[in-house]
Amino acid sequence: MDNSVLNATKNKFGVVGLVSELDLKREDCVVKVKSDDGSVSEVPSERIRGKISLEIGANQVKTFDVYASKTTSKGKEHQQWAMYEAMMNWNPRIHGNPNEEPTKVILNGSVGINDYLGQDGKAHSILKWNINSANTKVSPDEPLGCSLNFTGFVRKIVPEIRNDEETGRLNVELLGVDTKGAVYPVGIIVPEELVEGFTGFYEAGKTGNFDIDVVMVHVGDKKAKKKAFGKAASTNINTGFDIEERVMRGGNEPIEEPEDEDENGNLIDNGWLNPEAIKIAIKEREKILTELEKNPPKKTTASAPAQKTSKFSKKPDMNSTDDDDDFGF
């Protein structure tokens, strides 16, 4: 194993939720199919794309992107195509059949990154939650929720500050690695009760595996001011908005540089990420984002689209910070 090469990091999410809204479209498309001889042809097919919003807790709704074509790049039918077709028939709470309960589902998948150009002309990033499987065979007693298991490189650790005061929590920026060896940021929060345990094991530059819960937090509500006469309108106009907090619940000890070898004398990949390779990958990512700003695409959108037992147990959406890297990057 070459430690200067970044292998894709492992991550997996699971969510149990009630379907709140469905916004899926089934449409014709063309798929580029690569033959065994290397030639590429365009094959007519169809696809299902859009969004699914799930209730993952009391007053908590999280949205997932859906995109799948019936034909794969190898010219075969997508193994999960029937699953995506079934999604079209789920019963949402909003604009669904009011005589039936909203469909309860289990989703599994992995996260990635979506870099896009905002209306301000700056590059922005948001996590993509890619669905790999969906199942409606869920126990009525199964609790609602969304959790992520993520292996990443600790890039930054800073106190969370709100209203110019520290909250006691930590904002941590993790870096994952995609299948092309590129890094992407995932911001998480260490709750106050885990700060001592986390900082006892981790500092910037370490690699670790963490269990994370996703919580949707409503902020920005404003109470209606007292009126000179009469009362406030029946509908709350200042309703605020939801933000996604990814809250650490536990973690394993840091992953150390591998020493074990396979039968051929090669180091066994244990998930450790070389800080020097990470430094190079960060610079490459910065170049890509700068290029996105300098040469925007023709069409832009304004909106983004078994382990060792843990030694320590159980903000607004934060993908990165502007501070210098703690470990000198």
Question: Which tens digit of pLDDT belongs to each residue from 269-316?
Answer: 899 999 999 999 999 999 999 999 999 887 644 444 444 444 443 333
Query: In this predicted model, what pLDDT tens digit does every residue of 216-251 receive, in sequence order?
Result: 987 766 555 566 666 666 555 556 678 899 999 999
Ranges of H-type helices in the chain: 81-87, 195-201, 275-294
Which whole-number Å values give the CA distances from 62 to 57, 99, 315, in the listed order?
Answer: 10, 24, 16
The CATH superfamily assigned to 11-27+46-294 is Nucleic acid-binding proteins (2.40.50.140)
Query: Rounded to 10 degrees, what is the CA torsion of 264, 270, 273, 274?
Result: -40
What residues are paired with 233 via a beta bridge?
A: none
Residue-range domain boundaries for the chain: 11-27+46-294
Report which of 63, 67, 68 is spatially closest to residue 94, judged by C-alpha positions: 63
- Region of poorest pLDDT, from 84-98, 135-149, 157-171, 287-301: 287-301
pLDDT value of position 320? 38
Question: In the predicted model, what is the mean pLDDT of residues 112-131?
Answer: 94
- Mean pLDDT for 133-160 is 96
pLDDT of res. 324: 43
For the record, the structure tokens of 299 come out as: 């069409």
Could you tell me the two tokens for 310? 């843990």
Q: 5-50 pLDDT, tens per residue?
A: 899 999 999 999 999 999 999 999 999 999 888 899 999 999 999 9
Predicted pLDDT at 112: 94
pLDDT in tens, 63-113: 998 999 999 999 999 999 999 999 999 999 999 999 999 999 999 999 999
Give the helix/strand (H/E) hosting 247: strand 241-251
For residue 52, is pLDDT > 90? yes
Across 112-124, average pLDDT: 94
Q: Which residues contact 306 (CB under 8 A, 6 or more apart)?
A: none
**pLDDT tier at 194, thresholds 50, 70, 90:** very high
